[in-house]
Protein backbone atom coordinates (compact mmCIF):
# COMPACT_ATOMS: atom_id res chain seq x y z
CA UNK A 1 0.00 0.00 0.00
CA UNK A 2 1.62 3.26 -1.10
CA UNK A 3 1.93 6.06 1.40
CA UNK A 4 3.44 3.79 4.05
CA UNK A 5 7.13 4.52 4.19
CA UNK A 6 9.75 2.83 6.29
CA UNK A 7 12.25 5.50 7.25
CA UNK A 8 14.65 4.69 10.07
CA UNK A 9 15.70 7.78 11.95
CA UNK A 10 17.77 7.60 15.13
CA UNK A 11 15.97 8.77 18.31
CA UNK A 12 17.99 11.96 18.80
CA UNK A 13 17.45 13.12 15.22
CA UNK A 14 13.78 12.16 15.42
CA UNK A 15 13.31 14.20 18.61
CA UNK A 16 14.90 17.17 16.86
CA UNK A 17 12.70 16.83 13.75
CA UNK A 18 9.59 16.39 15.92
CA UNK A 19 10.41 19.59 17.77
CA UNK A 20 10.81 21.46 14.47
CA UNK A 21 7.56 20.03 13.09
CA UNK A 22 5.62 20.98 16.22
CA UNK A 23 7.16 24.46 16.25
CA UNK A 24 6.25 25.41 12.67
CA UNK A 25 2.76 23.92 12.92
CA UNK A 26 2.21 25.74 16.23
CA UNK A 27 3.17 29.05 14.62
CA UNK A 28 0.73 28.48 11.77
CA UNK A 29 -2.07 27.47 14.18
CA UNK A 30 -1.50 30.76 15.94
CA UNK A 31 -1.70 32.49 12.55
CA UNK A 32 -4.99 30.74 11.75
CA UNK A 33 -6.50 31.85 15.06
CA UNK A 34 -5.21 35.40 14.53
CA UNK A 35 -6.70 35.42 11.01
CA UNK A 36 -10.13 34.22 12.12
CA UNK A 37 -10.33 36.86 14.84
CA UNK A 38 -8.49 39.82 13.31
CA UNK A 39 -10.14 43.23 13.11
CA UNK A 40 -7.22 45.10 11.52
CA UNK A 41 -7.68 47.23 8.43
CA UNK A 42 -6.55 47.09 4.81
CA UNK A 43 -2.98 48.29 5.36
CA UNK A 44 -2.24 45.73 8.06
CA UNK A 45 -3.90 42.97 6.02
CA UNK A 46 -1.70 43.84 3.01
CA UNK A 47 1.44 43.82 5.18
CA UNK A 48 0.48 40.53 6.83
CA UNK A 49 -0.15 38.94 3.41
CA UNK A 50 3.27 40.06 2.20
CA UNK A 51 4.97 38.46 5.22
CA UNK A 52 2.91 35.26 4.90
CA UNK A 53 3.85 35.01 1.21
CA UNK A 54 7.53 35.39 2.14
CA UNK A 55 7.21 32.64 4.78
CA UNK A 56 5.44 30.36 2.28
CA UNK A 57 8.23 30.90 -0.22
CA UNK A 58 10.83 29.83 2.37
CA UNK A 59 8.89 26.62 3.15
CA UNK A 60 8.49 25.91 -0.58
CA UNK A 61 12.27 25.78 -1.01
CA UNK A 62 12.20 22.09 -0.12
CA UNK A 63 8.89 20.20 -0.34
CA UNK A 64 7.67 16.63 -0.47
CA UNK A 65 6.20 15.80 -3.88
CA UNK A 66 2.90 14.72 -2.26
CA UNK A 67 1.31 14.07 1.14
CA UNK A 68 3.41 13.08 4.16
CA UNK A 69 1.95 9.57 4.36
CA UNK A 70 2.63 7.34 7.34
CA UNK A 71 6.28 6.82 8.15
CA UNK A 72 7.63 4.29 10.57
CA UNK A 73 10.91 3.03 11.94
CA UNK A 74 11.73 -0.69 11.84
CA UNK A 75 10.69 -0.85 15.53
CA UNK A 76 7.16 0.32 14.57
CA UNK A 77 7.55 3.89 15.90
CA UNK A 78 5.20 5.85 13.70
CA UNK A 79 4.85 9.36 12.36
CA UNK A 80 1.51 10.56 10.97
CA UNK A 81 2.52 14.19 10.74
CA UNK A 82 0.06 15.02 7.96
CA UNK A 83 -2.96 13.45 9.72
CA UNK A 84 -5.89 15.90 9.95
CA UNK A 85 -6.47 15.12 13.63
CA UNK A 86 -3.13 13.95 15.05
CA UNK A 87 -0.67 15.53 12.63
CA UNK A 88 2.26 17.14 14.44
CA UNK A 89 3.14 19.13 11.31
CA UNK A 90 -0.40 19.80 10.17
CA UNK A 91 -1.74 23.16 11.39
CA UNK A 92 -5.29 22.03 10.55
CA UNK A 93 -4.97 19.36 13.26
CA UNK A 94 -5.62 20.67 16.81
CA UNK A 95 -3.41 18.40 17.27
CA UNK A 96 -4.97 15.67 19.38
CA UNK A 97 -3.06 13.28 21.68
CA UNK A 98 -4.96 10.04 22.23
CA UNK A 99 -4.22 8.15 25.45
CA UNK A 100 -4.79 4.43 25.62
CA UNK A 101 -5.76 2.59 28.80
CA UNK A 102 -6.39 -1.14 29.14
CA UNK A 103 -10.11 -0.93 28.48
CA UNK A 104 -10.63 2.44 26.86
CA UNK A 105 -8.97 5.38 25.10
CA UNK A 106 -9.46 9.07 25.73
CA UNK A 107 -8.41 12.53 24.65
CA UNK A 108 -8.69 16.07 25.89
CA UNK A 109 -8.32 18.94 23.47
CA UNK A 110 -9.16 22.61 23.29
CA UNK A 111 -11.12 23.40 20.12
CA UNK A 112 -10.78 27.11 19.36
CA UNK A 113 -12.63 29.57 17.10
CA UNK A 114 -11.24 27.96 13.92
CA UNK A 115 -13.52 24.96 14.56
CA UNK A 116 -16.77 26.95 14.84
CA UNK A 117 -20.03 25.81 13.27
CA UNK A 118 -23.14 27.30 14.91
CA UNK A 119 -22.25 30.50 16.80
CA UNK A 120 -19.94 29.64 19.67
CA UNK A 121 -20.30 25.91 19.09
CA UNK A 122 -18.04 23.27 17.56
CA UNK A 123 -18.87 22.37 13.94
CA UNK A 124 -20.60 18.97 13.74
CA UNK A 125 -18.20 17.80 11.04
CA UNK A 126 -15.26 18.57 13.29
CA UNK A 127 -16.77 16.43 16.04
CA UNK A 128 -17.25 13.62 13.51
CA UNK A 129 -13.59 14.05 12.52
CA UNK A 130 -12.48 13.74 16.14
CA UNK A 131 -14.72 10.70 16.66
CA UNK A 132 -13.40 9.02 13.51
CA UNK A 133 -9.82 9.25 14.71
CA UNK A 134 -10.54 8.47 18.37
CA UNK A 135 -12.64 5.40 17.60
CA UNK A 136 -10.25 4.21 14.85
CA UNK A 137 -7.22 4.58 17.13
CA UNK A 138 -9.06 2.72 19.88
CA UNK A 139 -9.67 -0.22 17.53
CA UNK A 140 -6.03 -0.17 16.51
CA UNK A 141 -4.73 -0.08 20.08
CA UNK A 142 -6.93 -3.04 20.99
CA UNK A 143 -5.30 -5.01 18.15
CA UNK A 144 -8.39 -5.07 15.89
CA UNK A 145 -7.66 -2.21 13.43
CA UNK A 146 -9.64 -1.22 10.38
CA UNK A 147 -10.64 1.56 8.06
CA UNK A 148 -13.81 3.42 8.83
CA UNK A 149 -16.70 1.64 7.07
CA UNK A 150 -19.53 3.43 8.86
CA UNK A 151 -19.50 6.22 11.41
CA UNK A 152 -22.68 7.46 13.05
CA UNK A 153 -22.88 10.47 15.34
CA UNK A 154 -25.75 11.56 17.55
CA UNK A 155 -25.50 15.22 18.50
CA UNK A 156 -27.34 15.47 21.80
CA UNK A 157 -26.67 19.14 22.51
CA UNK A 158 -24.40 21.87 21.22
CA UNK A 159 -20.72 21.47 22.11
CA UNK A 160 -19.28 24.85 23.18
CA UNK A 161 -15.91 25.83 21.70
CA UNK A 162 -13.18 25.21 24.27
CA UNK A 163 -11.97 22.11 26.09
CA UNK A 164 -13.67 18.82 25.27
CA UNK A 165 -13.08 15.25 26.43
CA UNK A 166 -13.51 12.20 24.23
CA UNK A 167 -13.72 8.58 25.37
CA UNK A 168 -14.06 5.37 23.39
CA UNK A 169 -14.03 1.62 23.83
CA UNK A 170 -14.38 -1.44 21.66
CA UNK A 171 -17.91 -2.76 21.98
CA UNK A 172 -17.48 -5.99 20.02
CA UNK A 173 -15.61 -7.66 17.17
CA UNK A 174 -17.37 -9.64 14.43
CA UNK A 175 -14.89 -11.18 12.00
CA UNK A 176 -13.06 -8.34 10.23
CA UNK A 177 -15.43 -5.73 11.72
CA UNK A 178 -14.71 -3.89 14.96
CA UNK A 179 -17.57 -1.96 16.56
CA UNK A 180 -16.37 0.97 18.66
CA UNK A 181 -18.48 3.41 20.69
CA UNK A 182 -17.53 6.78 22.11
CA UNK A 183 -18.67 10.04 23.64
CA UNK A 184 -17.61 13.66 23.65
CA UNK A 185 -18.34 15.62 26.78
CA UNK A 186 -17.90 19.09 28.18
CA UNK A 187 -17.67 19.63 31.94
CA UNK A 188 -18.75 16.02 32.48
CA UNK A 189 -21.88 16.33 30.33
CA UNK A 190 -22.10 14.23 27.16
CA UNK A 191 -22.81 16.41 24.10
CA UNK A 192 -22.33 13.82 21.33
CA UNK A 193 -22.08 10.05 21.03
CA UNK A 194 -20.84 7.89 18.21
CA UNK A 195 -20.53 4.35 16.90
CA UNK A 196 -18.01 3.33 14.27
CA UNK A 197 -17.57 0.12 12.32
CA UNK A 198 -13.91 -0.37 11.45
CA UNK A 199 -13.17 -2.96 8.81
CA UNK A 200 -9.84 -4.60 8.16
CA UNK A 201 -9.52 -4.10 4.39
CA UNK A 202 -8.83 -7.03 2.10
CA UNK A 203 -5.27 -5.87 1.35
CA UNK A 204 -4.40 -6.05 5.05
CA UNK A 205 -5.84 -9.49 5.68
CA UNK A 206 -2.92 -11.37 4.18
CA UNK A 207 0.80 -11.10 4.72
CA UNK A 208 1.57 -7.44 5.26
CA UNK A 209 4.29 -5.92 7.46
CA UNK A 210 3.19 -5.75 11.08
CA UNK A 211 3.92 -2.02 11.40
CA UNK A 212 1.74 -1.29 8.35
CA UNK A 213 -1.04 -3.57 9.54
CA UNK A 214 -1.02 -1.88 12.94
CA UNK A 215 -1.42 1.48 11.18
CA UNK A 216 -4.63 0.63 9.38
CA UNK A 217 -7.35 2.98 10.50
CA UNK A 218 -5.06 4.88 12.85
CA UNK A 219 -3.77 7.38 10.38
Ligand X SMILES: CCCCCCCCCCCC(=O)SCCNC(=O)CCNC(=O)[C@H](O)C(C)(C)COP(=O)(O)OP(=O)(O)OC[C@H]1O[C@@H](n2cnc3c(N)ncnc32)[C@H](O)[C@@H]1OP(=O)(O)O
Cα–Cα separations (whole angstroms), residue 184 to 34, 54, 122, 170: 27, 40, 11, 16
**CB–CB of 139/148 below 8 Å?**
no
**Residues in contact with ligand X, shown as a per-residue x/- string from 165 to 194 under the rule CB under 6 A:** ----------xxx-----------------
**Residues in contact with ligand X, shown as a per-residue x/- string from 125 to 144 under the rule CB under 6 A:** -------xx--x--------
User: Cβ 66 to ligand X, closest distance in Å?
Assistant: 14
User: Cβ 73 to ligand X, closest distance in Å?
Assistant: 18
3-state secondary structure 163-191: EEEEEEEEEEEECCEEEEEEEEEECCEEE
In 3D, which of 175, 180, 166, 89 has the Cα closest to residue 130? 166
Quick check: 69 binds ligand X (CB under 6 A)? no
> Which one of residues 53, 202, 206, 210 is an interface residue with ligand X (CB under 6 A)?
202
DSSP annotation of 97 reads: -
- Footprint of ligand X (CB under 6 A): 1, 132-133, 136, 147-150, 175-177, 197, 199, 201-202, 216-217, 219
Amino acid sequence: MSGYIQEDIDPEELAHRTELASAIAGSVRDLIDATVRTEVGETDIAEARRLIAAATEILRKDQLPGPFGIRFNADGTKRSWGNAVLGRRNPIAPPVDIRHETEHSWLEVDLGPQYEGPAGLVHGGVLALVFDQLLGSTAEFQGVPGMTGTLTVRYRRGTPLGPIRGEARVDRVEGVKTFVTGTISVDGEVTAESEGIFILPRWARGEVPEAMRKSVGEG
